[in-house]
Amino acid sequence: MNYISTRGKAPELGFEEAMMTGLARDGGLYVPGDIPVMAKDEIAALTGLSYEEVAYRVMRPFVGRTFTDDAFRKLIAMAYAGFDHPARAPIKQLEPNQFLLELFHGPTLAFKDFAMQLIGQLFQASLSRSGERVTIVGATSGDTGSAAIEAFRGLSNVDVFILYPHGRVSEVQRRQMTTPTEANVHAIALEGDFDDCQARLKDMFNDHGFRDEVRLAGVNSINWARVLAQVVYYFTAAVSLGAPHREVDFTVPTGNFGDIYAGFVARRMGLPIGRLFAATNHNDVVNRALKSGYYDKNAVIPSFSPSMDIQVSSNFERALFEAYNRDGNAVSLLMEDLSLHDGFKISQGALQMLTDVFGSGMTLESATLERIKRTALETGEVVCPHTAVGLDVAVRKARRGIPMITLATAHPAKFPDAVEEATGKRPPLPSRMADLYDRPERVTKAPNDLAALQSLIRGRIDT
């Protein structure tokens, strides 16, 4: 399997190189040269298998010869061993035809663990083979950072630097990043918002001298391996509700478009997904783009669902690449418009391709709290604010007779303030992390400045 850049001007890479590289050298994102299709009987055969076995069968064709079959199975087993639910991604029914896919049973309580725990294993296997050392730098709106730190803490051939927007993550998110004591973990509070963190990260990748000097590696959802790991739970969920013999729809709380794009890949692989609905909070650039054909970015306004407070939705580029029939030049021009003019216009044909698959909806703050409250009253389920944004859209978009599955992207205890405001009760942390509030924090503040960040990183990896 070879991987190509969405901007068409970077070298083709194999799975392992694409995973280690992160962002392509032309500024694009890597995608598979072609997406393998699973036959109907292969999908039917997934029914009743363990999460790990489904993961193996779904991901195997994408990985090529990077790992032997046996080694890949073992890495998957280790990745999910730390989850506290035997189903890994259990599904719950809320009302007729409305289902919740719980993706928060991993070590840091958000869906990011599904990809990050696996990437941790894959990186470690690959680096111990090559004897190389890498510097991982990640940008986070809260959950990616904690999941990455959890996956890479203490590994001998990796330093991990996480840039998060100062003052804009929840206390639980922050503490998950600042309390690990391992010397290879570096939490950096950047003076800016998430888009600033992501922009400085991209600047570092585009500074090829720096990139090579520190052996920069990326674990944001620009990394194809992240997306791949997330394809799996679309399969387990759809199959448990009758796929391949029955169509299902999904609603996905969306920020950077990585999670929903994984659903798109599952659909391309032959899983009978009807529609994929992107649910946003008031930072609704994706919702507006899908409705109007104009992607125009605004300032980020903080919300109850901070992991979706984004205006530059990186993985949207991968969907555009498909909508423009894999024309890297066309995508490059759009991205140039985005960086010069803060927006771009999607062609009529491409918009048609996008909206054939993707629908969208936006949930305002008051409706988010109302949805948390109502879901708790009616079903007993306490959901996080991101999940509530999704559920509110799912209820509006559900189609008669077609199961609607909403991705429950985080555990409510990760966002206790919003949940308490909605329900009057503070959701408790799972007992294994009950002492999170007592552990000492370690964090470095940094300005929103590329040179300053680069010298900070150089200084830390020298020692």
Q: What's the min distance (Å) between Cβ of 439 and ligand PLP? A: 22
- Contact pick of 255, 328, 359, 412 for ligand PLP (by CB under 6 A): 255
By the rule CB under 6 A, 403 interacts with ligand PLP = no
Site string for ligand PLP, 89-118 (x = CB under 6 A): ---------------------x-x------
Which of residues 418 and 457 has its CB atom nearest to ligand PLP in the complex?
418
Closest CA to 76 of 122, 133, 33: 122
By the rule CB under 6 A, 250 interacts with ligand PLP = no
Cα–Cα distance, 185 to 190 (Å, whole number): 16
By the rule CB under 6 A, 194 interacts with ligand PLP = no
- Any bridge partners for residue 138, and if so which? 162
Piece of 58-66, 69-77, 87-95, 251-259 that binds ligand PLP (CB under 6 A): 251-259
Cα–Cα distance, 347 to 337 (Å, whole number): 14
Which of residues 330 and 376 has its CB atom nearest to ligand PLP in the complex?
376
Place of tokens 């890597």: 30
Piece of 18-26, 52-60, 177-185, 250-258 that binds ligand PLP (CB under 6 A): 250-258
Structure tokens at 332: 């490059």
Q: What's the min distance (Å) between Cβ of 230 and ligand PLP? A: 8
Closest CA to 406 of 397, 415, 414: 397
- Contact pick of 117, 135, 409, 423 for ligand PLP (by CB under 6 A): 409
Tell me the backbone φ, ψ of residue 406, rounded to 5 degrees: -100, 135
- Three-state SS for 194-241 is HHHHHHHHHHHHHCHHHHHHHCEECCCCCCHHHHHHHHHHHHHHHHHC
Which of residues 165 and 258 has its CB atom nearest to ligand PLP in the complex?
258
Is residue 397 part of the annotated active site? The answer reads: no
Q: What's the min distance (Å) between Cβ of 258 and ligand PLP? A: 3
Taking every pair of Cα atoms in the chain, the longest distance, rounded to a whole number of angstroms, is: 61
Residue tagged active-site, from 40, 74, 92, 112: 112
- Any bridge partners for residue 296, and if so which? 343
Which of residues 180 and 390 has its CB atom nearest to ligand PLP in the complex?
390
Which of residues 223 and 256 has its CB atom nearest to ligand PLP in the complex?
256
Structure tokens at 190: 């950047």
Which of residues 184 and 280 has its CB atom nearest to ligand PLP in the complex?
280
Stated as kind and residue range, the H or E segment containing 274 is strand 273-280
Cα–Cα distance, 420 to 373 (Å, whole number): 10
Just list the catalytic residues.
112
Could you list the residues that contact ligand PLP (CB under 6 A)?
110, 112, 143, 221, 253-259, 307-308, 386, 409-410
